[in-house]
Structure 1
Amino acid sequence: MTDEEYELVEATPSSDDYRRLRIAAGLSPKSAEAAVAGLPNTIYAVVIRKDGEAIGMGRIIGDRGLFFQIVDIAVDPKHQKRGLGKRIVGALVEHLHKTALPGAYISLIADGEAHRLYSLFGFKPTAPRSIGMYLHFK
């Protein structure tokens, strides 16, 4: 498959595509109710399509001035190892370079070996100065 077969579009994924891609990529599942409530609050997102089907995605969330977070980087495993994750993150970072105000803080959580991808775009670990923490409502 060639790179031209994959189309990167600036769009927030549909709730169904979002939920399907998260599960396919090994991310935690999200309810339809949560996706419908959360996705409209996306600041910027991209979707990669092949033959009209969403096979990858990534989003930026935040307060639009001080803090931004890159989330939901997901590529269907059938399409991984083709540089698509790099295209997604590159598009998100490019958007932030164009629109974020000076002093903005951009963060993300790098699962597993994903830190290798994010480091290509200048992201650095926060440890030992700080550590990421979370609270998950079930």
Structure 2
Amino acid sequence: MSDAYTLIEGAPAVADYRRLREVSGLSPKTQEAAERGLRGTLFAVTVAAGGRTIAMGRVIGDGGAFYQVVDMAVEPEHQGRGLGRRIFAALMDWLHENAPNSAYVSLVADGDARHLYAKFGFEPVMPASIGMARWIGGRPARGT
């Protein structure tokens, strides 16, 4: 990672979290959802540049049997510089150090992100399993 970028352990501030999700194309979250969700973080890292948070990634779960990698987000103008790989590597290092050997780690790979995750040993679970989701209150519209 370039000297212009600093990797920081810890969850992002609520405002940064909400902004990064939206600008990177992830579904928006309300203030309440962000506040409550960030409290459930097991481990997170952010990347700062010029004094502001420009990328993030988190691990959530029960702390024993199940973990999920979520909120992998990099501001569009900083994409393509290896920041996602650096964030994901830090999350995986933490999981290898803290999760039991029998832990199941899952994630949802949006678009081409699946190629990054595959480099860390993640593979599709289909056809044996299929991921499913439901949004309470309906799927949020992007950009709202």
Give the TM-score band, short-chain normalised.
over 0.9
Corresponding letter in the other structure for 1:127? M
Identity of aligned residues (%): 52
Instruction: Give the unaligned 5+ runs of structure 2.
Output: 138-144
Which structure has the highest helix share of the two?
A: 1
Question: Cα offset for 1:41?
Answer: 1.1
Q: Which residue in 2 is equivalent to 1:18?
A: 17
TM, length-normalised to structure 1: 0.97
Distance 1:11 1:61 in 2: 13
Question: Cα offset for 1:134?
Answer: 0.8
Q: Which residue in 1 is equivalent to 2:50?
A: 51
SS, match of residue 97 in structure 1: helix
Paired residue total = 137
SS, match of residue 94 in structure 1: helix
Question: Cα offset for 1:51?
Answer: 1.3
> After superposition, where does 1:43-122 map in structure 2 within 5 Å?
43-122=42-121
SS, match of residue 3 in structure 2: helix
Q: Which residue in 2 is equivalent to 1:31?
A: 30
Question: How big is each residue's C-alpha offset from its partner over 1:98-133, in whole Å with a ceiling of 9 and x where there is no partner?
Answer: 110110000000011110010011001001111111
- Which aligned segments of 4 or more residues in structure 1 are displaced greater than 4 angstroms? none
Q: Which residue in 1 is equivalent to 2:135?
A: 136
> What do you get for the CA RMSD once the two structures are aligned?
0.8
Higher relative CO (Cα under 8 Å, sequence separation at least 6) belongs to 2
Distance 2:35 2:69 in 1: 19
